[in-house]
Every structure is written in C-alpha cells, then in structure tokens.
Structure 1
Amino acid sequence: MTEPNTPGSRWSDLDRPPLNAAGLRRALIRPGSLWTALDVVDTTGSTNSDLAARVSAGGGAAPAEGTVLVAEEQTAGRGRLDRNWTAPARSGLFFSVLLTPGGDIPVERWGWLPLLTGVAVASGLARAAGVDTSLKWPNDLLVAVDGRERKAGGILAERAGEHAVVVGVGLNVTLRADELPVPTAGSLALADALSLDRETLLRAVLRSIEQWYGDWRAAGGDPAASRLQEAYAAGCATLGRAVRAELPGDRELTGEAVAIDGDGRLVLATESGVREPAAAGDIVHLRPADTD
C-alpha cells in the first residue's frame, strides 16, 4: 500500500488529513467513561459488519461495551434495508459503536437506540460544527444547503448476539457538490459548518452519545423520563408534514406525521381521523405525500 501523503496516493489529499487514533483514545477513553476501546482502520467494507463479527466470534477477543470502530473509508457501507452508503476516503465520519443495554433495559425499548444516536449526533454537531442538523424519522441526518434540506448522514442499528447492539453512523463532512452520491445529498461543508475538523467532530459526537445513552440507561430506557422522546420530537423534521409511508406488500399509509410515540414509532393522522403508528421496520420508504 502507498504511504499516506506520498505522490500518487489516494490518501494524499491535504484537505482531508487522517484521524489520529492515539489522540482520540487519549481524549475519550478514561476511567468511568462509556468508551473502552477505539480503533481507526484505513478502509473496510462496513464498520457495522466488522464490529458485529467480532461480537459473534466471542471468546477472549470479544469486544467490550463502548468499543468504537472508525474507518477512513467504507466500501460497502449500509443504510437501512441494506441500501448502499459510499463516500470518498477521509471525506466523512464512518464509525460504529458497541452498546450492551443489558437486562436492566427491556428489549422493547432498544428500538430507541438509533433515535437516541440521532439526537446525540445532532446535538454534538450543533456544539462542535455550529450547524443546525435535523432528523428525518427514523434514521436520517439532514442539513440545510441553499435553503433546502439535504441528507448528510444516516444511522443503522443492528442486534449483535443476544445482549448487544451495534450502532453505525455515516456522516458526510467535506464532500463537495461533484462528489455527492446523489444531487439531493448534502455535507457539513456544503451547509457552511464552522468546523470541518473530523477529530473535533468525532469527539463531540461520541461524548454526546455517551451523555444521552447514560441518561437513557439511568431512566431504565424510558424515553419520556430521560427526555429523549421530547428531544427527538423537537428536532424531527418529519413531524407536522404530510407523508406517505410505503409498506411491504405494495401498501401505503398517508397522513400528517403528528407524534413519536413511546415505542419510537411515527404516528400518522389519516384523513379518516384515525391515528396510525408505523414502526421503522415496517416502512420501506417514507416520502412527502405530494411526491411520486
């Protein structure tokens, strides 16, 4: 492999310096912290898949809760329903964390973990990047580019064994317009973020996840008592809009998104006056009601 920052290396973009793994460990791993290990790899298919595989391998090498795996580049990153997520090397933050809510948190409340991560990422970016990030239910991170909402990131939570959840985050940081996977995507750079330093952003996001996860666990996973439900609703761009949920079997549910219920489901008020909850796992696509 060509060494970083040498002529001809795909890692030689000086506007996209590599992450300093040792510095990140010094800043984040400390006694009493959620974060227990942090590795940065040059490239991988999917940090979620890699971390889940380490959990499945078990034995003495099994990772502890709070393990963080970061990739400078993902070649087979996945979104919800196995949709692809790719970006140029070192142009974003691509990482996964291992969480073990344990027996003290009812399994039915684990569905709040991707929503919790969304709130944490948005609040961390607000502090560190000075950019207003909103949330499209259930797992998209939106920024404003030229007055329009654009998807700049996504979250994917997956069970890893009986007691663990791997939560992955992909966030476009320095992508230029000509690098976007689709014209409707965005990045922190295109949203005029005050900081594009990936180490600063990653530290802020992980500290925010630690805080929100700690509060949620202390409340027994109760989204109301931990104020997670309130915070998610406040930052959710989906609420108050007419949407069309495409369901399996070519079924559709159309209505105004009016609430996030205690199970993290999106509640739609239909024209018939009925309030219908829809779970993330039941929705293939969620679109504005006036689009095809």
Structure 2
Amino acid sequence: MTPPDAADANDSRWSDLDRPPLNVAALRRALLREGGLWSGVELVQRTGSTNSDLVARAEAGKAAEGAILVAEEQTAGRGRLDRQWTAPARSGLFFSVLLNPSEVPVARWGWLPLLTGVAVATGLSRAAGVDTALKWPNDLLVNVGGEERKTGGILAERAGDDGVVVGVGINVSLRADELPVPQAGSLALAEAVSTDRDPLLRGVLRSLEEWYGRWRSAGGDPAVSGLQETYAAGCATLGRVVRAELPGERSLVGEAVAVDGDGRLVIATKEGVQEPVGAGDIVHLRAV
C-alpha cells in the first residue's frame, strides 16, 4: 500500500538535497539595515509570478519601497511579451523588488531593467565567479561549452503612479536534461565556482542597492552615474550584426553600435542610417 504522504514527496522542500531551501532569516539579517534600501524580505514556497504578486500588493498599498518577494518556485513566471519562465523548485533565483524612483524623471525609468542587468552581472561575477554578459534589453547570458546561453531575464512593470516592480529570474543549478529549450543555460552549466543560492541572492541584491543608489543620486542620468558606460562594456549585443523584430511586424538588420542616453539600442543599417530601437526582440546574428 502506498504511504499517504508519497504523493507529496516531490513537493517536499527537502526532496532534492542538492537544492536546499533559501534561509530567509539569514537573508533578512544580511540585507535589512537602517538607512538601507531593502525594507523587507518575504519568501514563499510557490507562486504564479512574484512580479504579479508584488505589483498587486504595491497597488493595494501593502508594500513599501525596498520590499523583496522571493519564490522557491514560480509556476507562471513571465518574461517580456508575456513569455513563460518555468524551472524546477529551488533550481534558481526567482524574485521581485519594489522601487519608487520618484525623484528621477519618469523618462529615465526605462533604464531600470538595464541597471538591474548591470547589478545582476556584477553580483554574479563576485559571488559565483562566472562572467555574465548582457543581451539588450533584458537577458543574462553565460558561456556553456563555447556557446552563448540565456541563463536569466529581467522584467520591469509599473506599479501604480510612482512604483516600479523589477523581477529577476536566474537559472542556477538547472541540469542539461532540465533545460526548457536548447538555447538555455545555467550557472552550474557555465561552471560557476558556487551555486549556493543564499550568497548569490545576497550578492545580487547588494549590487542592485548600490547601482540603484548611484543612479538615483545622479537624478537618473545614465552618464553621470556611470551606468551607460558600464552597461555598454558588458553588453554582448554591441558590435554584433543583429536583427530587431519590431512592433508592427517590421524587422531591421544592422550592426548594434551603441546604447543611447534613453537606453535604446542604436542599429546602423547597410544604408548608413542609424536607427534607435526602444522595444523589440533582438536576435544576435554574428560578430562584426
């Protein structure tokens, strides 16, 4: 006879000993401090989307700036264009934060996903010992067997009139047979020196606090804060021939030559025209 708890075995927080749960008490001790950005850390075992949950809380007045919502598993995680993001429980970092950059002109808020990309790449470099490149506008790339693989993504959404929820998903210990698509990767597959999620999350959030503070102090100016230069230095899209799939079923092919002051990707076409792209899917074709 099957034991009554057998059906729940796969849901046990200890069902995969290679993937221990996050320690929320330790995260709070490490991240919450007087005068700091982070105001609270909540950990849930499973949810549809941390972004959706935090946006709803912010709009209901139930979350303050600096709130962090972390999930051990997301069942309906979303990327850009409402693409699904799913992974086994405790195989990655899935979290959202609430920011309120009220002193920064709204026109500059478009830099927040790029800022988060710089912060995540910096944090992972320090804590995981793995080089993470940025694909404009919101993908995180690692090298797996000499190939660029997507290991993470970023999604920013407005929350009410003065809030922005930024969500991050990072594949940490995902194995080759668990990859959702062949183009995906993980920190483990990129031979990271550490896949311990607690220090990885602490490192990423501390880096995000640092970069957000620098950007906010500069009034959101990407040049003064150093964000524009740092993003360009870590952006794998620049210097590549790319195809931009634009709204209205239009596409544009050319060399990605810069990220302008508004965070747009500037593409130089073979006709000699430089066109800034503010939204769209970017496909890396080849290096110049």
TM-score range, shorter chain: over 0.9
Q: Return the letter of the residue paired with 1:286.
A: I
Q: Return the letter of the residue paired with 2:161.
A: E
Name the residue aligned to 2:277.
278
Distance 2:145 2:284 in 1: 20
| Per-residue deviation, residues 239-276 of structure 1 (Å, max 9, x unmatched) | 00011111122211111000000000000011111110
1:148 and 2:153 are equivalent in the alignment? no
- Among 37, 41, 45, which residue is 1:38 paired with? 41
Q: Return the letter of the residue paired with 1:235.
A: G
Name the residue aligned to 2:156.
157
Contact 2:256 2:265 in 1 (8 A): yes
Gaps of 5+ in 2: none
What TM-score does the superposition give when structure 2 sets the normalisation length? 0.95
Name the residue aligned to 1:80.
80
Q: Would you say how many aligned residue pairs link Structure 1 and Structure 2? A: 282
Name the residue aligned to 2:213.
214
| Per-residue deviation, residues 126-174 of structure 1 (Å, max 9, x unmatched) | 0000000000000000000001110000000000000000000000000
Aligned 1:3-82 pairs, distance under 5 A:
9=12, 11-58=14-61, 62-82=62-82
What TM-score does the superposition give when structure 1 sets the normalisation length? 0.94
The secondary structure found in structure 2 opposite 1:144 is strand
Q: 1:7 to 1:247 in 2, by over 3 A?
A: closer
1:138 and 2:132 are equivalent in the alignment? no
Q: 1:228 to 1:274 in 2, by over 3 A?
A: same
Give the superposition deviation at 1:288: 2.8
Q: 1:42 to 1:149 in 2, by over 3 A?
A: same
The secondary structure found in structure 2 opposite 1:243 is strand
Distance 1:249 1:120 in 2: 32
Q: 1:10 to 1:178 in 2, by over 3 A?
A: farther
Distance 2:106 2:49 in 1: 25
Give the superposition deviation at 1:9: 3.1
Q: Which moved more, 1:11-20 or 1:227-236?
A: 11-20
Aligned 1:109-124 pairs, distance under 5 A:
109-124=108-123
Give the superposition deviation at 1:289: 4.1
The secondary structure found in structure 2 opposite 1:220 is coil
Contact 2:13 2:20 in 1 (8 A): no
Q: 1:250 to 1:169 in 2, by over 3 A?
A: same
Q: Return the letter of the residue paired with 2:200.
A: L
Give the superposition deviation at 1:287: 1.1
Q: Return the letter of the residue paired with 2:35.
A: G
Distance 2:112 2:139 in 1: 14
Contact 1:254 1:289 in 2 (8 A): no
Contact 1:174 1:188 in 2 (8 A): yes
Name the residue aligned to 1:245.
244
Give the superposition deviation at 1:285: 2.1
Distance 2:12 2:161 in 1: 42
Give the superposition deviation at 1:7: 8.2
Distance 1:6 1:145 in 2: 32
The secondary structure found in structure 1 opposite 2:54 is helix
Name the residue aligned to 2:126.
127
Contact 1:154 1:169 in 2 (8 A): yes
1:287 and 2:283 are equivalent in the alignment? yes
| Per-residue deviation, residues 207-245 of structure 1 (Å, max 9, x unmatched) | 000000000001000000000000000000000001111
Distance 2:141 2:11 in 1: 34
Query: What RMSD in Å do the two structures reach over aligned CA positions?
Result: 1.7
Contact 2:13 2:21 in 1 (8 A): no
| Per-residue deviation, residues 78-107 of structure 1 (Å, max 9, x unmatched) | 0001000000000000000000001x2000
Name the residue aligned to 1:204.
203
Contact 1:2 1:9 in 2 (8 A): no
